[in-house]
Amino acid sequence: MGTKPLTVRELSTPKKITWCPGCGNFAILTAVKRAIVELKIKPEDVLIVSGIGCHGKISDYINVNTFHTIHGRVIPFLAGAKIANHKLVAIGFAGDGDAYSIGWGHLTHAARRNDDIVYIVHNNMVFGLTTGQYTPTSPRNFKSRSTPYGSIEEPLNPILLSLASGSTFVARAFSGDIQHLTMVIKEAIKHKGFAHVDVLQPCVTFYNTYQEFSKKIYKLEDSGHDPGNWDKAVEKAVEWPGSGDRIPIGIFYRNEERKPYTEMLSQIRDAPLVFHKIESVDISPLLEESM
């Protein structure tokens, strides 16, 4: 008898979802579950790490291995777990303040190393959990509790910076299109290397951009974009934020030729680190040396 196929319902947990009704996090949660099911990945082979912010509760709402870490530290934890067991499908979730402020240095180095992890950023351009302060991706003149007269700063461009940092998979999606979002996440999971997915995820309470984004968004795959061309990816990356007229979503860039970090570690070439035999390991020389 064959194994019964996994269902989206089986990936749910009994935890009550506390996000605001209409929050874009619901779409991201659904898309990730669908991606796992459609790719036929066993739940025990998945590790999800979430950071601090409204998105962080996602680790409570999906029935796989999960860990809720501190602010800005999703990537270090996820990368370490991947080295310990590179057979895991390692997926990290962070908010725009979490990822693009305190966590940006980790993103840059994960891209440089080409860590074999998926990094999904819930980008609503506002600190929703702490009631609406501006973040690195908030638009100029954005009025909030922390900028009552409007922000004077230019927004950070995560797509452009990710490309410049060496990410081998860079994409943007929109929580208002679950089908397209699922496709992007599936491609990110299948990619061998650092996959960065920036999801425009409107905050219905403090910065509801659903209607605005729906009018401006277009899909890169419909425009004939070649994701294998880094220069063209940069051209598309600077379209927004910029003039603000059109917002491209989809896969900006994909490089399948660079080896991921874990494939270059000779220590785990034969087996994941967690399966190495340690009974005969003698650390006494190291202890004596440290005395």
Domain chopping of the chain, boundaries: 16-290
- pLDDT at res. 213: 94
Which burial class, exposed, middle or buried, applies to 1 when counting CB atoms under 10 A from its CB (0-12, 13-18, 19+)?
exposed
**Topology given in CATH for the domain delimited by 16-290:** Rossmann fold (3.40.50)
- pLDDT at res. 289: 85
Helices (H), 98-245: 104-113, 158-165, 178-190, 210-216, 230-237
Using a cut of 0.85, tell me whether the model's pTM lies above it: yes
- pLDDT at res. 274: 84
10-residue block means of pLDDT along the chain (291 residues)? 81 96 96 98 97 95 96 94 95 95 94 98 93 90 89 94 98 98 98 98 94 95 97 96 86 97 88 84 85 71
The token pair that represents 171 in the structure block:
């994409």
β-partners of residue 123 are 200
